[in-house]
Structure 1
Amino acid sequence: MNKDKWCAQKYSKGSFIQSHLNDLILPKIENILPGNHILDVGCGQGEYTCKLANKFSNCSFTAIDSSKNMIEYAKTHNLHPNISYLQADVHSELKLGPFDNILSFWCLHWTDIKLATQQLYRVLKKEGEIFALFYSSYEGTLPNAITSLYSLDEYPNIQAFAKRAIEKRQAVKIFIETRLKQLPFSDYSFSRQRLQIKLPSLDILKAFFKAVPYMRQIDENTSEIMLEHMLKYFLHESESQFGGEYIYYTTPYILNIRKLNSD
């Protein structure tokens, strides 16, 4: 997928869910001290980086994304005196840093995790820490809604798409777990944690589903059919599991890496 084809404005509209999930996990991030230099990896349109810069107002931020469109959008719409936005790929040698803290939200599952974390570790200061939150392919609102598409017998193309998505989900699950177990760091840990938020409206979920890469790989008519079914599945799940409340849930990975003085 060419990330420069991502529409940053549409992505921004669909980022409500990720931003609020980030808020749930933010208290788990430790050792961000006044004066720290922080790298935000996969900053997207920069909206959440601004929130971080306001929260940690005595720190400086470098925010990177591999998408030129995202960085241009961030520079136009989310400027902040404590943030420098740069286009960069974590698979390449980063000529940045060193950093006291490296943060990444909903990004590492798009990368070769072993290679990406090695590059990030290289620009991390001694006693610095990496904190990453990313998709695990385990149970959640989005994967369950996509899996539900397999029941659409009257649309063989959508059913085939769902089958491929299910198979890819399993492959990604195995790949991520294998890579995490192979990380060459002396002090690191990873775990999965269920997170859930209450959505104020169905429009929020609709915007999020539309921003998912899967939905940008198919024609508009097919996309609308899929979207309608996924929303119906969500409403059914909301009634059966959450008393009619619009609850979005996911089970992401949390990865912590600490660079020891001896490393």
Structure 2
Amino acid sequence: MKKWIANIALATSVFGATSAQAALPVTDWVGLVQTTRTAMQSLKTEVYENTNIVYQYKMMANQLLQATGLDAVALTEELDAIRDDIGKYETYGTSLKDLYGTVSDNADYLKKIQSMVVASGKTKEQWFDDQRKLLSNGDKTAKNLFSLGEQVFKNTQSVAQRRQKIQAQVKLSPTAQAAAQTTNQMLDVLASQNSDLLQLMSVRAQADADKDQQSVARETQSAEAMRAISTAQDEELRQLRARVFSRKLQAD
């Protein structure tokens, strides 16, 4: 986000040097920077700023609305696509909460997630093989995860296509250059967050699978222990009957 502010300031200086030579519409960069700073200050943590996908999309839409010198048709198409993505990611958030509850947004939790990935000791191929086994067993959670993952991959592809399209259509005035550059940076952040989202989903699924395996192991051990106790009791009863029968014979 700091890099984004620096790029805006750079675009302002470039535009200031050329504005006397060309009568181009000017974006209120001072107001934009102030608005951005206010929004940044309202965030509770750096982690939230870097991981909240819906927030990043809304910031990108706000940037496009304040930029001028862009083709009206391309701008409208981009805004509509962004708003559609906001709705999709809000749906993702609801689905994830339904599956796993609210995910904590602090750095300690993210570090814990990374350590879980390392501790799993499995390759990507092994993980997907585990998921295929879950699917074959009719596991509902695994099906939901694969459905969400497919949607995220499709969204990443559409983001790349939109990036290429907006680069080809915008007029490269200083203002438009800044808007296009900012949009590309936002899309880079979103692509990275898509990957993070899938990683979080995979780690949780792996944890669920491990938990199920541990539960089965405990049940197996419990059953074996019960059988051992039953066998021991049967043996004690047999010995007791043998002693009683022996004493009866001696008494006779």
Normalised by the length of structure 1, the TM-score is 0.27
Structure with greater contact order relative to length (CA < 8 Å, sep ≥ 6): 2
Larger helix share, 1 or 2: 2
Larger Rg: 2
Normalised by the length of structure 2, the TM-score is 0.28
Larger strand share, 1 or 2: 1
